[in-house]
Structure 1
């Protein structure tokens, strides 16, 4: 079975986010009022596995080992089975 995976990664609360601060300042200079700007990395991919449980385990391992730094990042995983 094929599964579509989406991993959304953002910095934990309290971590400095210079990219978000720059975006917020630039928007203010353009006349937009924006509060609490945050940036999120979204990684999508497909996985071939026998079960949803196997995909969940594999994706969790990917996140812990490569996709993010658990010390400074929070992440959310969405998994859906692909038709066909």
Structure 2
């Protein structure tokens, strides 16, 4: 599973984006640094609002779970 281009291009001074591969899948995590983060998924599009930023991206192929917890967006395969 590839990290969406829109997440890779988020200002890296404010958002830490990691991609972690496990034997049974991949997790992409984007830590928005304490901002209150909301997530809405419409069809295959995720809309993330964190503070005054909004990021929209197509869910990567193979994404099985998308969630937000404590300011961190996770996409799991």
Q: TM-score, normalised by structure 2?
A: 0.30
Q: TM-score, normalised by structure 1?
A: 0.28
RCO (CA 8 Å, sep 6+): is it higher in 1 or 2? 1
Kindly indicate which of the two structures has a greater share of residues assigned to helix: 1
